[in-house]
Copies of this chain bind each other. A is one copy, B any other.
Amino acid sequence: MPDKFSYDELFAAGSPSTPPGTARHAKYDFAVAYPDPDLVPLDGLVEAAKRAMANDGRDLAYYPDAAGYPELRRLVAEDLANERNIHVDTNQMVLTAGSGEAIAMVTQALIEPGDTILAEEFVYLGSLRSFRRYNANVVGIKCDEDGLVPEDLDSTIRRLKAEGRRIKFLYTIPTFQNPLGSTLPLERRKKILEITGQHDIPVFEDDAYFDLRFEGEPVESFYTLDDTERVIYCSSFSKITAPGMRMGYLVGPTEVINHAWSFKMGGGVNQFAASTIAEYVKNGDMGDHIRQQNDSLRAKRDAMLASLGENFGNSATWTRPEGGLYVWLTLPEGADVAALEEQAFQEGVGYYNGTMFSPDGQGNNSLRLCFGHPSVEMVTEGIAELARIFERHGLLK
């Protein structure tokens, strides 16, 4: 047997070595942000694929436009104007494999190792992974039940500037934040725009959950509130069609798009999926689907809040989202749900603990609970089971 070749000296510095993960599911799965598998519009998608191939299928023979299927970009722009009061040209948009790819592209276009990114003190895992991959210094801003606290944002910026840090942007999920579930009120958005404006810091707004509002009124986006082209925006079809469709989009000033698109590797977005989604949207199926899904999410959120009240009572606090997929549960200090995560999974309840979302590893007494995937009954039972596990292991009195 000849010697095995060693790549040890060849890998780029900072290129980590871990095997690619595979999905696993606890009996009660509150861990990953999945929508309800029973609500994926399979028949609608198959019919849409059929129409897409009949109309435009020959175009599969071509490499897709770098910015992605033009017809889907047109439909997204139309929807952004009608539903979100966001007015963009299709040339200011690149379709991406979910919002995750959009985030990776913007990161690469703007970040050099050591540059600083501001974010909520608990940040969407995929974003955190991209930021770390490209060696950004991620600094968390304090959040309360309404999200980012403007005063902490201001003082943190001043401190970082005094230290000579180069701040590249504020990354935020203002609506139904992942993992906190919070939504920034309008006045706070204006204040945050003002503070970042004083310091010439762009806002990168991740609006993946906009459509998942099942209560209350929509709040104007940073993108709409700004009129100086200082906001970069991304969103996704993952939560309103299915994550497996891998479809999202990046919207921004032309100069940002012109820098960011070339970091999209593998060419324009999957055209089979893009043309299928376009046909699905054109058929008018999306609105009904979103309404049906939000009815389901409201029922699950209600079940989760009720079961938390019943089983956690006064021994923990939690957020009450008006939409989205997440409740953030906080136990008393010292209750280490991070250390218990694997054991809880083995005992049947999956969650992600707070330290996974924290730039500096805080939050071992907090956890994210996603209510999108399990049924109402499973949500109710699963929260009770979670309380029993925590009690059994001495985390709840």
A: residues with CB less than 8 A from B are 1-5, 7, 10-13, 15-23, 32, 34-40, 42-43, 45-46, 49-50, 53-54, 57-67, 70, 91, 94, 96-98, 100-101, 104-105, 108-112, 126, 129-130, 133, 168-169, 200, 202, 227-230, 242-246, 248, 253-259, 261-263, 265-267, 269-273, 276, 373
Contacts and interface: CB of A to CB of B under 8 A. Distances in A.
A245 B270 contact: yes
B98 A267 contact: yes
A34 B62 contact: yes
Contact of A266 (B110, B202, B246): B246
Given A20-B66, A38-B58, A267-B246, A110 B5 contact: no
A262 B18 CA distance: 8
A46 B111 CA distance: 41
Nearest to A91: B19
Contacts of A202: 5, 7, 10
Q: Which of A7, A39, A133, A202 has the most CB of B within 10 A?
A: A7
Contacts of A1: 227
The 3 closest A-B pairs by CB, nearest first: A97-B266, A101-B266, A60-B244
Contact of A62 (B20, B21, B23, B53): B23
Contacts of A54: 42
Nearest to A227: B2
Nearest to A272: B273
Contact of A100 (B19, B257, B267): B267
Given A61-B242, A271-B246, A273-B273, A258 B100 contact: no
A243 B45 contact: no
B64 A246 contact: yes
Contact of A112 (B13, B22, B169): B13
B266 A18 contact: no
Nearest to A64: B244
Nearest to A8: B255
Name the residue among A11, A65, A168 with the largest chain B CB count within 10 angstroms: A11
A20 B54 CA distance: 27
B270 A244 contact: yes
A4 B228 contact: yes
Given A10-B168, A40-B57, A46-B50, 12 more contacts: A12-B109, A20-B65, A21-B65, A23-B65, A39-B61, A42-B54, A42-B58, A45-B272, A97-B97, A244-B272, A246-B269, A272-B273
A157 B230 CA distance: 48
A371 to B, nearest CB: 14
A248 B153 CA distance: 44
Contacts of A267: 97-98, 100-101, 126, 243, 246
Contacts of A243: 60-64, 267
